[in-house]
C-alpha cells in the first residue's frame, strides 16, 4: 500500500480552515464577478467546488500549475474572433493539461480593446471566449469542464489606452473549482480535499 506523507504547511492549514466555511461561488481575483454575464450562466449555480476548498493557497497552487503547463491567455487580431497559429498552439497546451486533470473545471473570459461601443465589445468578447471554448472541445476537452463563458468586453484592459491594443484583445482561461453534483455538500468538500491532497502527494 502506498503511503502518503504530508507535512503541516500554510497551504494545508488553508484547506482545513476552508472546510469550516460555507461561502458562495468563488471566482479568482483576476476575473471574478463575471458569473452574472456568463454564457450558459445557468451552470454557474451548479458549478463547483467547492469554493471553500479553492480559496487561498489551494486555488493559487492549482492555478500556478496550470499556468506553468500552458499560458492562460491568447490574443486576437483587431475586431476578430479567429484563432491564429500561436493561439491554437497555446490552446493545445491548455487542452492537454485540462484533459489530464479531469476533476478540475475552468472558465474562459473574453476581452476586447476600447475601440467601438461597450455593447459591441461585450458581444465580441463573448464570441472570442466561445471560440476558445469550441477549440478546446475540438481538442478533446469535455464541454462540461468549461462551466461558463463570460465576457468583460472592454472593461478590464491590460494596457490603458483608447487605441487599438493587441494585449487587450484576449481570452483568459482560469481554474475555478472541482465539479460535483451538489455545491457545498459535505461529500463534495471531502472529494475536493482528498483529490487535492493526492495531487500534492503526486498520486494524481
Q: What is the mean pLDDT of the chain?
A: 74
Closest CA relative to residue 92, chosen from 83, 81, 80: 83
Q: pLDDT tens-digit profile of 19-37?
A: 433 333 333 444 544 443 4
**Structural domains of the chain sorted by starting position, each given as residue range(s) with its CATH number in brackets:** 10-201 (3.30.1330.60)
Q: How many CB atoms lie within 10 A of CB 122?
A: 18
Q: What is the pLDDT of residue 103?
A: 86
Q: What is the pLDDT of residue 54?
A: 52
Q: pLDDT tens-digit profile of 83-123?
A: 999 999 999 999 999 999 988 999 999 999 999 999 999 99
Residue 144 clears pLDDT 60, i.e. is over it = yes
- Residue 194 CA to residue 140 CA, distance in Å, equals 26
Residue 150 banded pLDDT, cuts 50, 70, 90: confident
C-alpha cell at 150: 463570460
Residue 72 clears pLDDT 50, i.e. is over it = yes
Phi, psi at residue 161, to the nearest 5°?
Answer: -145, 150
- Rounded to 5°, angle at Cα 181 from 175 and 185: 90
- Residue 167 CA to residue 111 CA, distance in Å, equals 10
Instruction: Give residues with Cβ within 8 angstroms of 14, minimum separation 6.
Output: 55, 56, 57, 58
Phi, psi at residue 4, to the nearest 5°?
Answer: -105, 120
Cβ(94)–Cβ(110) below 8 Å: no
Amino acid at each position: 500500500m502506498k503511503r502518503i506523507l504530508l507535512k503541516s504547511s500554510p497551504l494545508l492549514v488553508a484547506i482545513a480552515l476552508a472546510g469550516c466555511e460555507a461561502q458562495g461561488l468563488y471566482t479568482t481575483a483576476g476575473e471574478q464577478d463575471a458569473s452574472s454575464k456568463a454564457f450558459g450562466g445557468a451552470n454557474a449555480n451548479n458549478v463547483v467546488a467547492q469554493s471553500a476548498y479553492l480559496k487561498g493557497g489551494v486555488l493559487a497552487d492549482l492555478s500556478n500549475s496550470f499556468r506553468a503547463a500552458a499560458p492562460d491567455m491568447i490574443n486576437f487580431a483587431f475586431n476578430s474572433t479567429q484563432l491564429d497559429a500561436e493561439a491554437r498552439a497555446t490552446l493545445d497546451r491548455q487542452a492537454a493539461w485540462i484533459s489530464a486533470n479531469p476533476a478540475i473545471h475552468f472558465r474562459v473570459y473574453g476581452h476586447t480593446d476600447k475601440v467601438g461601443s461597450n455593447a459591441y465589445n461585450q458581444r465580441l468578447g463573448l464570441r472570442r471566449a466561445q471560440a476558445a471554448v469550441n477549440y478546446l472541445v475540438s481538442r478533446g476537452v469535455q464541454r462540461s469542464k468549461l462551466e461558463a463563458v463570460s465576457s468583460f468586453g472592454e472593461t478590464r484592459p491590460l494596457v490603458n489606452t483608447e487605441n487599438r491594443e493587441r494585449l487587450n484583445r484576449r481570452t483568459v482561461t482560469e481554474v475555478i473549482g472541482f465539479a460535483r453534483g451538489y455545491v457545498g455538500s459535505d461529500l463534495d468538500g471531502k472529494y475536493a480535499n482528498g483529490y487535492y491532497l493526492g495531487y500534492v502527494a503526486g498520486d494524481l
